[in-house]
């Protein structure tokens, strides 16, 4: 299967949604993100509400959860089906700005616009040859001091994909090379069972310098 080419096109993802081979969809928000957000509600805020970009948002479960907690969320996906689903599942208490776009084609007007970028299973869906380019985009989308929350999956060494594997070292290298500084990392204890032991949460902040 020539997925390293196919994944660059919405058609591959449309086909997965249409066939029901969208097993990445957890049907609701990601437990580790719910935990981060509940800490915020209990006054132990790690992330105060701000403008948040969710690339490759799929049906938007995580995007809506952050919106419900007061974040101003822009959710991006290039699959028309995913976008239609985000619109269908929208609720008044979780307003989203929904963009149907390739993440690599977002307008330069969005550079420096975000306090946060939230990535869960977008990075592993991207053609691995485009990871450096993707890391550069993440850095560009963030304000100086903005935070990149990356729940890495799958951190193993299997061949092929999607999901395409990465090591923690590769993720750290890619994003620090783009001017992001690691603030914290943790192995979530609350990964869903099928992903347990394959995930790590990385939190980076954008430093002053970002390559153009
Ligand atoms: C593995 S799914 C993950 C969806 C969602 N993050 C989740 O956890 O349910 C990857 C999603 O990213 C989208 N996607 C992949 N490459 C993309 C790109 N270059 N631009 C925009 N969306 C992309 C796909 O359409 C798909 O909805």
CATH number at residue 115: 3.40.50.150
Flag whether 30 is in a domain.
Answer: no
91 pLDDT band (50/70/90 cuts)?
Answer: very high
The verdict on the CB of residue 56 being under 6 Å from ligand 1 is yes
Predicted confidence (pLDDT) per residue in 167-212, tens digit: 999 999 999 999 999 999 999 999 999 999 999 999 999 997 665 5
Q: Is 28 part of a structural domain of the chain? A: no
Q: Cα separation of 90 and 98, whole Å?
A: 10
Residue 66 lies inside a defined structural domain of this protein:
yes
In a domain, 38, yes or no: no
Residue 34 maps to a domain:
no
Q: Tell me if 107 is assigned to some domain.
A: yes
Number of domains in the chain: 1
Segments forming the whole domain that contains residue 194: 3-14+50-206
More confident residue, 85 or 1: 85
Rg, the chain, Cα only: 16
Distance 60 CA to ligand 1 centre (A): 10
**Rounded distance, CA 178 to CA 163, Å?**
23
Mean pLDDT of the chain: 94
Predicted pLDDT of residue 79: 98
Q: What is the pTM of this model?
A: 0.96
Answer yes or no: is 22 within a domain: no
pLDDT in tens, 103-146: 999 999 999 999 999 999 999 999 999 999 999 999 999 999 99
Residue of 38, 30, 56 whose CA lies nearest to 130: 56
Check if 104 has its Cβ closer than 6 Å to any atom of ligand 1. yes
Could you tell me if residue 21 is inside a domain?
no
Strand partners, 110: none
Ligand 1 within 6 A of CB of 98: no
pLDDT for residue 39 is more than 90: no
24 lines ligand 1 (CB under 6 A): yes
């Amino acid at each position: 299967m020539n997925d390293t080419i196919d994944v660059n096109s919405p058609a591959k993802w449309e086909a997965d949604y249409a066939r029901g081979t969208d097993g990445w969809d957890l049907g609701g928000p990601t437990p580790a993100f719910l935990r981060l957000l509940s800490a915020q509600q209990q006054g132990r805020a790690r992330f105060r509400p701000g403008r948040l970009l969710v690339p490759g948002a799929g049906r938007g479960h995580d995007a809506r959860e952050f919106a419900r907690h007061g974040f101003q969320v822009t959710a991006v996906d290039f699959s028309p089906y995913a976008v239609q689903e985000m619109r269908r599942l929208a609720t008044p208490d979780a307003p989203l700005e929904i963009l149907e776009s390739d993440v690599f084609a977002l307008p330069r007007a969005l550079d420096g616009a975000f306090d946060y970028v939230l990535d869960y299973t977008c990075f592993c869906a991207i053609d691995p040859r485009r990871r450096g380019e993707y890391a550069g985009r993440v850095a560009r989308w963030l304000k100086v001091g903005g935070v990149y929350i990356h729940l890495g999956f799958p951190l193993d060494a299997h061949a092929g994909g999607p999901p395409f594997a990465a090591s923690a070292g590769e993720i750290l290298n890619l994003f620090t090379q783009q001017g992001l500084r690691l603030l914290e990392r943790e192995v979530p204890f609350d990964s869903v069972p099928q992903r347990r032991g394959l995930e790590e949460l990385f939190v980076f902040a954008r430093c002053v310098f970002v390559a153009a």
